Structure 1
């Protein structure tokens, strides 16, 4: 093969590429793309956030055939879920309002930290399965129609006043009920009843 033929082949290989192809397979080396002129290997461009999948129609560009990049995913031929690849570390910033809307939202992370000055949450139902909960704050308020709690052990420590106001209070203990204080006062407008096999006073 003469020098002119080699120069022509080199000129063809070094020609810029701008074509539409179809993803065949992908591995750690890159994506195998089927073009009209044949198959090639391309990397995903940093600006192509949508991860290409086999069967996708993609736009391939590059300065020559040995340095090709997938610029964008044009069409998806199957129902594979869309994946956005933002790199190792990423940040989404908006000077105004940022909204997320979907029928179902799934967030998965090894650890998460939220820094919010004011949080308002509105929903119909909340179900949570958590191994440990710790709350630290200055004020806690809850307004509920009904509260049901089931626990193996319960311990409360109140430094100041512990006050309960209710129309009916019912405390029942299967073994023992212990009331202690420097002063214990029981007051009733109509009736005080003490019933037991043995009653010790003093």
Structure 2
């Protein structure tokens, strides 16, 4: 199976060795092993990506080349660690996790995210679920358009609910009901109440 994976015939001389990474250039590596300088490449299953001064384990195939299998010891430099996967997916860890991917799709049976600060940004951001809970001291959503659709919706605000807009339009197919201890309608210009029947008092 190994011979099929890295492309050499069974029976050729193979040696498992350790070495130190001297330089990294794209997918190519330069190693120092026992005073010998070798050109190598990273095996697809080698995680994380080797970097300079790392001690690595590699397999050397006579007449074919060297392939780094894994990182044994990290070098002294405290720089971010990166894992690379086929298809242009990269994970970076530097006290925080960064992901670079052409596309991300996650399927979870149960997903919980808790953070002091969370930012979601995208040209198109769609959240779909049977129940979506947003909890925070400050929840800020900014967009040219925000479209929400649901079968029914319940909104509870403990303190003051303040709505500021350039213009507000409420369209209801049946009834709009406002129930409160005190209701104040004020306008600088015009208040218009129009209907087949208008009842006050």
TM bin, normalised by shorter chain, reads 0.3 to 0.5
Normalising by structure 2, what TM-score?
0.46
Q: Tell me which of the two structures has the higher relative contact order, counting C-alpha pairs closer than 8 angstroms and 6 or more residues apart.
A: 1
Q: Which has the higher strand share?
A: 2
Normalising by structure 1, what TM-score?
0.45
